[in-house]
Amino acid sequence: MAANEQGARSQYSIECNRLTRKFGSFTAVDNLSLRVRKGELFGFLGPNGAGKTTTINMLTTLIHPTSGSAKVAGFDLATDAAMVRSRIGVVPQSFSLFEELTPIENLWYLGELYEMKKELVAQRTEELLKIVTLYDKKDVQSGTFSGGMKQRLSVAAGLMHQPEILFMDEPTTGLDPQSRIALCELTQRLNQTGITVIYTTHDMDEADKICQRIAIMDHGKLAALGTSAELKSLQGHSHKIRVEFDRLNEQMVDELKKLVGAVSATVDGKSVELRVKRLKPNMVRALSEFADRKSVSVGDLKISEPTLEEVFIGLTKKELRD
């Protein structure tokens, strides 16, 4: 089978089989097995030191696995590294372009490295600078840009040769909140065009908002894999109900547990937090009627899902490390 056909026939952008990387006696990535479908916005989530960047470095051919195997865009890392590199783009954690060059000059330089035709370089440069909203800064020295602008230029650089897969390694690290939101929205728009995005982060909320599926990693191991909703269901309860009354006693708590089907109840003064596997219909009305029967007033009522932070703590028995 020709190399191009081999890549085209695969339904997965990434296939890892017991992928492992050791540095001396330290195991950075430990028997990682997973698959990423074409067109997914797939997240690697975990604290610093979890193995996310080492995984990306292997999948982008920067370092060799110690053992195991992987295919990227349908091509084997060990035997087809050049084909892999031709089909991927990378947005690194830190700005790696030339700060003394303008955006146009940086992208033209990359176009020449990729041996692209001049007409295509000109077309892609204009298209990409408009996509990342830097066209009005096309002739400004890149070193004068803010962190968010530099990261958007890095995205344009990663897309210059029209890759099938874009790897983004903690791209929002160090950015202000507004720049983080803008980069996340840009990432989603790019994914909607059909490109596969591999996104690493240690920000739980960020992963929850933009990633279609998430691999939680800790100490080099895959702790869990699934959609945000699937991961949250691993906790054994899907919602928290926190209700505050002007009066609360033990008998009321027992009755509330039965009323909502709670698996646990935590009392804090006149408030109780009830954890349930699923919300019953008309839950708010039922709680209001309960308060009427007991002649008590409801001061506050909040119903929420478990967070990915809680999932991580439940899986690893520790809080997210910075």
Q: Read off the pLDDT of residues 7-18 as tens digits, 9 standing for 90 and up.
A: 556 789 999 999
> Do 85 and 58 fall within a single domain?
yes
- Same domain as 131, residue 56: yes
- 13 and 144 fall within a common domain: yes
Shared domain for 206 and 295, answered yes or no, is no
pLDDT band at 236 (very low <50, low <70, confident <90, very high): low
CA distances from 178 to 138, 175, 200, 266 (A): 22, 8, 19, 36
Q: Is residue 57 part of a domain?
A: yes
Nearest to 184 by CA among 198, 167, 165, 171: 171
- Does the pLDDT value for residue 1 go beyond 80? no
Domain boundary among 233, 265, 288: 233
Instruction: Give me the mean pLDDT over the 215-228 stretch.
Output: 94
Query: CATH number for the domain including 288?
Result: 3.30.70.2470
Q: Is the pLDDT of residue 322 over 50?
A: no
- Per-residue pLDDT at 239: 83
Query: What is the mean pLDDT of the segment spanning 300-310?
Result: 84
| Distance of alpha carbon 151 from alpha carbon 229, whole angstroms | 29
**Does residue 268 lie within any of the structural domains?**
yes
The pTM score is 0.83
Domain ends where: 202, 233, 264?
Answer: 233
Give the whole-angstrom CA distance, residue 312 versus residue 198.
Answer: 20
Assign residue 161 the CATH number of its domain: 3.40.50.300
321 is a domain residue: no
What pLDDT is recorded for position 315?
Answer: 78
Does 92 share its domain with 170?
yes
Q: Could you tell me if 10 and 283 are in contact, meaning their C-beta atoms sit under 8 angstroms apart?
A: no
Are 180 and 245 found together in one domain?
Answer: no
137-142: average pLDDT: 96
Which carries the bigger pLDDT value, residue 21 or residue 240?
21
The beta strand positions in 24-124, using DSSP E, are 26-37, 41-45, 67-72, 75-76, 88-91
- Beta-strand pair 262-268/26-37: unpaired
The count of domains in the chain is: 2
Residue 216 forms part of a structural domain: yes
- 38 and 157, same domain (yes or no): yes
Q: Which domain range does residue 256 map to?
A: 239-305
pLDDT at 307 over 90: no
The answer to whether residues 270 and 195 belong to one domain is no
% of the chain at pLDDT higher than 90: 74
Distance CA 138, CA 156 (A): 12
Q: What is the band of 308 on the pLDDT scale with cuts at 50, 70, 90?
A: confident
Report whether pLDDT(270) > 80. Answer: yes
Residues 169 and 213 in one domain: yes
Mean pLDDT value across residues 70-81? 96
Residue 85 and residue 198 share a domain: yes
pLDDT at 39 > cutoff 50? yes
Same domain flag for 122 and 211: yes
Whether residue 80 sits in one domain with residue 17? yes
What rounded mean pLDDT belongs to the chain? 90
